[in-house]
Amino acid sequence: LYSRDDFESRSGYTDPEIMRTALASVILQTKRLGLGDLASFPLLDAPTEAQLNAGTNTLQELGALTTGGKLSAVGKQLAGMPLDPQLGRMLLAAQSAACIESVLVIVSALAVQDPREVPPDQRQLAREMHRRFALGNSDFLDWLQLWDYYASLRATHSQGKLRKRLQAEFLSASRMREWRDMHRQLRLSLRSIGIKVAVREQHYDPEKKAGIENKREYESIHRALLKGIPLQIGTLEKPVDNQSRPGGTARSKKNRAGDYIGPRGLRFALWPGSGLANKKPRWVLAAEIVETSRVYARHVARIEPAWIAAELSHLTRFEYGEPRWQARRGRVVATRRTLLFGLTLGEQKNFPFDQVDAARARQIFIQTALVEQQLDPDARLQAKAKFWQHNLEVLADASEVENRLRRRDLQISDQALFAFYDARLPQQVFDRVSLSRWLQKTGAEAQQALLLGRDEAFARQLPLDALQQFPSHLDSAGKHYALRYAFAPGASDDGVTVRIPLTEVAHMPLPALEWLVPGMLVDKVEELIKILPKAQRKKLLPLADTAASLSQLVVRDFGLGSCSLYDALLAKASAQYGVNFDVASWRGLARDRLPDFYLMRAEVIDANGKVIDSDRALPVLQQRCMRVMDTQVQQATRDRAPALISRWDFGALQSSGNVAGDAAGAQRCLRENTEGELALEFCASAAEARMHTRLALPRLAMHALPDKVRYLRKQLLRDARQLLPYVGVGDRAGLLDDLIKAAIAHAC
């Protein structure tokens, strides 16, 4: 029964079949017969535009139409088959893959109603009986098992017994017969178009276990099926933790866990009756997508995304990420995603971008590898690319000039350097391999053009005396100290750094280091004036002119680095401008308020050039390093357990720099201990070593003159009254030793 409103709302007649079915087959036949466009064909009931577009899209997905809308070679074959184009496309693909016997069984099963029956009151028992044919990875292969089983029953049972056996096992005898008839009809129709297919004769093996199948055959069968149903695929959605969702919201009912994502935004779940429902493979192919309470995929199989990309290359497109230079591979690469109507099939992280856009790959190669110096050539390319090392040296020299002058507008710009390489390299050079190949073929003239000239490395001409004001060495008291420049505001080594050997720390030229270098003197003097108290600073206006004048005066009258810069400046400022200020206070203000690069930075290095310590507070650094040397000397002395000396048989005293195993910077000396014994030991400085040696030499002379010493011990201080002034200071033996050593020292 139904209501009047329901009855009156129904259509008076059944919708025409052309309005209810897929039109792919109809469009295929109209094109084969040359009837023109179906949309303009004078039908009694014209299909909708959506139906026509869906049918045309299906044929394009199957490869049955060319880009111009005409039948392709595949389309002509499909038009001659009395079968749905999708099923026909599976058979054509199976013929090429040499698996048409198996695929024909599957296609004929898909063309009829499923013979497996599941009564509602015996659902569990029926599924247990049907599970005998499940192989686990593919519902399609279950059809092959069932076909082989049916063939074995037909060979051993009469019609009556066969019907009863099938009924007991929840299989429809009429549908099984219909399946077999469909298989025979398809074989005959294929024979009519020149495709001969043998009947599948495979012995049914009830002991065949799930998951055991021929991998090559499995791939061939499913790649053939994929050709006919290209968009009925999906990938398992990655699980997303609710905590990571915005606001911690839970997953919606439409996006349930275990859902699959397909092309064109399709979402579905696996049909519960499938053998793969609990396995949840990563990628699946489905024979049909149905919608009940949810969207389900029926008759599914596990597939690989590589099969999809290979078989559906006419439907896929590529999406590329931002190209980048990869030094390890020596070429420009990009991340490439393979997409099938919005579904990502795979991602290749380092795809050669020159295969996509060689011109842009060349630009990135020149900019990143050559201009930004990330070429990283191997030994073979290094030997061929003579220009590379030459240009690096030229640009390094230009960068050093910028560091010295504290400017960043002198070196050639990246744009100009790019234009330099772009004009000289051919279009086919876009990576390390192509560069090496071109260098091997080209002549010396082409390579000569790639050499960057010294003048070309600068964007503008330098002042003639600019570099003379920024020397590479500092000379003081006959010593040469290497200087290093850095223009890196905020960095610890910004400014000028002097490298001082550990052995020279005691003689560090502290006054000379206050002057920095000639090219920075005027600027430093101006900054020193700026930090003076206002009362003193007012007398020195204008600051720039006063700084230049004072700099000339102190250099002329005192000499660069001959004394403390603060003493020299204060002397001239007092004489010329009447400025009086405490030198120690001025030095303290400079330490606290001057930018770091106006204070000389010192690095103390060992004999191997390794930095031991560094600081801008030079007196503090000197004391710290002296303590380190003292500790090393004491350790070296303890480790050596010095032997006692009674005669000069150890050669000349020399610094530890020539004695292996000694403390760095230590000086060897002759030293007398409290017991009057002599030994070779080490001192932190040459001055200390000379002092101890000078004090120990009289004792060594006493060892060389034992008779004279013995005589003096007996003859001196025979009168006890001579000892009275020394009572409480020492004994007679100690006083005698001092007198004898003093006499020897006086005589020498």
* Burial class for 151, CB neighbours closer than 10 Å (0-12, 13-18, 19+): middle
| pLDDT given for residue 640 in this prediction | 60
Q: What whole-number distance in Å separates Cα of residue 334 and Cα of residue 356?
A: 10
Q: What is the 3 state secondary structure string of 460-494? A: CCCCCCCHHHCCCEEEECCEEEEEEEECCCCCCCC
Contact between 116 and 171 (Cβ < 8 Å): yes
Tell me the residue type at 737: D
Determine the average pLDDT of the residues in 516-544: 94
> What pLDDT band is residue 254 in, cutting at 50, 70 and 90?
low
Average pLDDT on 270-284 reads 91
pLDDT for 21-75, tens place per residue?
888 999 999 888 888 888 888 887 888 889 899 999 999 999 999 988 899 999 9
Tell me: pLDDT of 5 over 50: yes
Least confident of 70-74, 256-260, 547-551, 675-679: 256-260
Mean per-residue pLDDT, 454-466: 83
Query: Hey, what are 149's tokens?
Result: 């089983």
Q: Per-residue pLDDT averaged across 86-107, rounded?
A: 94
Q: Please report the pLDDT score of residue 730 as a whole number.
A: 75
Most confident of 11-15, 306-310, 465-469: 306-310
- Cα(25)–Cα(78) distance, integer angstroms: 9
Give yes or no for residue 748 having a pLDDT over 90: no
Check if the beta carbon of residue 402 is closer than 8 Å to that of residue 416.
no
* pLDDT greater than 50 at residue 403: yes
Q: Is the pLDDT of residue 614 over 80?
A: yes
**Structural element, H or E, at residue 133:** none
The whole-number pLDDT of residue 658 equals: 41
Q: From CA 107, how far away is CA 140, in angstroms rounded?
A: 9
Nearest of 321, 334, 327 to residue 370 by alpha carbon: 327
- Residue 244: pLDDT band (50, 70, 90) is very low
Output the CA–CA distances (angstroms, integers) from residue 642 to 314, 662, 674, in the order listed.
89, 13, 15
Confidence check: pLDDT of 666 > 70: no
Bridge partners (DSSP) of residue 613 are 604
582 dihedral zone (left: phi>0; alpha: psi -120 to 50; beta): beta
Separation between Cα atoms, residue 221 and residue 98, nearest integer Å: 9
**First and final C-alpha spacing in the chain:** 143
Q: Using 50, 70 and 90 to split pLDDT, how confident is the model at 660?
A: very low
**pLDDT score recorded for residue 657:** 43
Tell me which amino acid residue 304 is: E
Q: Whose CA is closest to 470, among 520, 420, 543?
A: 520
Q: How confident is the model at residue 416 (pLDDT cuts 50, 70, 90)?
A: very high
- Dist CA 320 CA 354 (whole Å): 12
pLDDT at residue 463, rounded to an integer: 73
Asked if the model's pLDDT at residue 655 lies above 80, the reply is no
pLDDT greater than 60 at residue 150: yes
CA distance 188 to 586: 110
Per-residue pLDDT band at 461 (split at 50, 70, 90): confident
Q: Are 580 and 593 in contact (CB under 8 A)?
A: no
Contacts by residues 48-57 (CB-CB < 8 Å, ≥ 24 positions apart)? 48/19, 51/19, 51/22, 51/23, 52/23, 52/27, 54/22, 54/23, 54/24, 55/22, 55/23, 55/24, 55/26, 55/27, 56/24, 56/27
- Among the residue ranges 310-324, 355-369, 565-579, 683-697, the one predicted with the least confidence is 683-697
Amino acid 724 reads L
| Tens-place pLDDT, residues 305-336 | 999 999 999 999 999 999 999 999 999 999 99
**Residue 629 tokens, joined:** 């040397």
What is the pLDDT confidence band of residue 136, given thresholds at 50, 70 and 90? confident
Residue 656 pLDDT exceeds 60: no
Helices (H), 3-84: 4-9, 24-33, 49-62, 73-79
How would residue 398 be classed by pLDDT, with cut points 50, 70 and 90? very high
The string of DSSP codes covering 633-700 is HHHHHHHH-PPEESSS-S----BGGGSTTSPTT-EEEEEE-TTS-EEEEEESSHHHHHHHHHHHHHHH
Dihedral angle sign, alpha carbons of residues 581, 582, 587, 590: negative
Find tokens 């590898």 and name the residue: 369
> pLDDT at position 219, please?
94
How does pLDDT run across 549-563, given as a tens digit for each residue?
999 999 999 999 899
Task: Please tell me the distance from the alpha carbon of residue 74 to that of residue 54, in angstroms, as a whole number.
Answer: 19
* Distance, C-alpha 725 to centroid of its chain: 84
Average pLDDT, the chain: 88
Read off the pLDDT band of 644 (50, 70, 90).
Answer: confident
Percent of the chain surpassing pLDDT 90: 59
User: What CA–CA distance (Å, rounded) separates 717 from 739?
Assistant: 10
